[in-house]
Structure formats: C-alpha cells, structure tokens
Structure 1
Amino acid sequence: MDTDQLTGLFRRITPAIITELVLVVIAAMVLAWLVQFALPWLANRLHGRRRHWVLALIPTLRILVVLVAIGWVVSLLIEPSLRNMVAILGTVGLALGFALKDYVSSLFAGVVAAYERPYRPGDWIEVDGCYGEVRHIGLRALEMVTPDDTVVVVPHLKLWSELIRNANNGGASLMCVASFYLAPEHNAHAVRRALHDVALSSPYLKLNRPVVVVMEDHPWGSRYRIKSYPMDPRQQFLFVSDLTARGKATLQAMGVEFARVEAMAGSGESNAG
C-alpha cells in the first residue's frame, strides 16, 4: 500500500474526533469496571441457578463492551468507503484465522470423531492423563466426568496429537485389574486358586465374561493380577475395591506374606496388595 492509499484510509483527525475518542475509551473502561465489580456484588446476593447465571454474564458483557468500543473507535479513525472496508475486513479475517486455527482444527477433528467414533457417550476413556466417562460430545469438544466427579472438557484437537485409551469402546464390558504383591515364599497354585475364587464370589462380577489370574515373578517376589469384568462399567471402582479387600483378607488367612515396600522401592514397583 503506497502513501496515497494509506493516507486515504484514515480520516483527518480533528479536535472533535479526539474528544469523542477519549470519551469512548473512558466510557468503555467505566462499563467494564461496572461489569467486573457490580455483577459479582449482585450475584453474591442471589442463590442457586440465578447466581451462576449472573456470574456467567460477566465475560460475555465485557467482550461486548470491548467489541463495541473497538468498532466505535475504528469508525472514527477510518474513512468509510468500500475499498477501506474490504481492506479492514481482509486484515481482520487474517487475524481471526491465526487466532482461531486451533478452534477450527477442533471442529474438523469433531467431524472425524463423528465418523470414526473413537469415543461415544458412556465410554470410559483416558486422554492426556485424565480418565473418566464421556457424558457429552459437542462439535468442538467432549465432556468427561472423572471418578472424583470433576467435569473435564477435552477438545477434539487431541485426536491429532494424543493417544486416546478407550476402556470399553462402546460396549458394556470393561476389564478391571486388581493387583497383589507377594513375598517369594508361598504356594503359587494355591494363591491363584484362592484369588480366582475371590473374583467368582464378588457381587459385582459379570458372570458371562472370563476371570483370569495372572502371575509374574520378580526379584522381590511375585505379582498377581485378577483380570475380570464388573456387571456395569460404572461399578469398576467398587469392583476393584471389593476384589482387593477380600483378596487381601483371603491371602492373610492363608498365611501368605506380602512383599515389603523397602524391597519393591528399588524395582520401581508400588505395594498395591
């Protein structure tokens, strides 16, 4: 853009325009301050949904104040012509493209997710270290609820860069694992049978799915894992707790010693028995 074009883009600055600019900026600052402090004051005097509704208005109203102020300032400084509007809109569009590229990428990933279905409502997934149940899938992101009842919003953008682990993959079967860490001196066959019986007697067990007890030997002792399925994926934590508590009591009644924490620290294992 040459000097003549650049000169024609802006209006001639006059004292009246400067005064109006100052008034617009002051008015925007006052309104933003009122929104920031008056609405929380009002919300603290309300209860229930009305309080949250008023608090949710704060960022929206502040953005509206800023956008109106920017539009007013631009209309005062820029000469209103078709050529100028096209130039401004092109610049704004380019800036928005860079600013919203992750948002647009999440939208495209949402389309891919709707087609490939790596997760569905009701699935238990792990994304970026967060594990929980998928409750809602939107265009841009999904909502999952962790076992601690925390809502986590995960953008579909994670499809491009993160591993997504799906525990039940749209089905009603979800494998659970209860681990036991035992000292070396014990009857391995008796322990496997006992742990197998513990799983079969659980009130949460899904009977039409297999129950497997896996053993691994280590320098510090042996690790046993009960692999089985609860009746409902939402019972997984109750199921594992039941297996662990009753399995531990059964092994103690058999006189089996658990691996010592000091011995396992050097091997990078942790005592879950």
Structure 2
Amino acid sequence: MKSTINQGNALIVGANRGIGLGFVRKLAQEPKFTQIYATYRCRESATELLAKAGEAPERICCLEVDVTDEGQIAQTAAYIKQKVGKLHLVVNCAGVLHEGSLQPEKSLKHINPELLLRYFQVNSISSLLLAKHLLPLFRHGEKSILAAISAKLGSIGDNQLGGWYGYRASKAALNMLMRNVAIEYHRTSPRTIVVMLHPGTTDTRLSEPFQKNVPAEKLFSVEHTVTQLLEVIENLEQADSGQFFSWDGSHLPW
C-alpha cells in the first residue's frame, strides 16, 4: 500500500558534500521535515554543510560521525532518540571510491587486502551498523524509509567490464546486507521500507577523476540526482522493501 511521509524527521549520513549535501539542501525546502540531522566526518570539509545549518539552526542539526566507528553511530542514534524519538527518512550517502592510495583496481596485480577492507568498512558495513542502531527510531508505526546509496557497478548481473574489484564487491555486499536488513525489518519494524539506490553518475568529487568518458547527458548535477532519488523514495510502496532501484525508478539486477 502506497503512502507518503506527511511529516517527520530525517537523517542524512555523509552530508558534508556531494549527494548528501544535496539532500540536506533539498529537504530544508520541504516543510514536512521538521528536523533534519546531517552527519559529517571532518569539520574541515563540512564548511558548506555547517553554513547551511547556520541558516536554519532550529531545523538542521550537524553531527560529527565516522561511519566506520560503531560507537559513534550508537551515540548518534541515542542522541536523536533523546531529542525527537523517531525517524522517518534515513539516507546513507557515505561512500568511498578513491582517497589517497585507495584507487579503483584495474587488474589483480593492484589488489591490496588493507585497501579492500577500507572499501567494505565504508561502502558496506556502515549501512549495516546504521540499520542495527537506528531500528528503535523506526518502530513508531508510521511510514519510514531507510535508503543506502549503492551503485550500478555493484550489480553482478550487469558486470561486463570487470575491474574496480573493491568498489564493485563492496557495493554488491551492501546490496546483500541491506536485503537481509529488509527481511528482518519486515518482522521488527514492518512500516519501514529498506532500499538501495543507484544515483547515476553525478558531478561530485567521487566521480570527478572518471568523468572524461561520460557523455554530457549522463553526467547529472547533484540537484538533478537528489530530485530524482527523492521522487523514487516518495513513490515507494511496502512491497518495494529490499529492492535495488536506479535513479529513474527502474529495478536493477542483482
């Protein structure tokens, strides 16, 4: 049964830049979201987010959270529960494709176990830890959404080119983990819809080094991507929980 979120509280994880920051900006224009929590990892890289929060301090609350630290995630969940008691929309935008020595692997000779672990810590496990600690905030009987930003590159069925071992595998793992979460949430928080979302190639710092071969019409602005993803979110039905959607609302193969 389809129903919209009429009023509620949102949490955007990884909101200091890119798609996450775009979500905060867009939700701030939506009166139905009375409280918006937004996380960042490093204060130095969150100047735009903090400035946005400064424009509406009564609605936007910024929290410093390292998504690889379960203790920080637990503290954040406890803080939000104390302040508002429940959440209606959570989007995990935290993700890593490249940073320093961490770069997409072009072949087996580039495989580094420690760097592979970093991909999984950020791209896969963070969403699972959020699902674990945010569950009490979803048990309120109203429609709610738990969404994780995945990637079409995490589709095993769509993989025709190979390469990018860590990124592909960590996003595939994310899809499986969140599919599991959807099944458990169906029993423990049945009004919560759990989904994985592919945003398309978006003009952000994450995709910047790899944009040269992307046709102009397939490189989306952050505003376009967030608008499309929110439309997908708005149209979700209970039966969609556990599914993998593209930015246009179509289903992606596992």
Range class of TM-score, shorter chain: under 0.3
TM-score by length of 2: 0.19
| TM-score under structure 1 length normalisation | 0.18
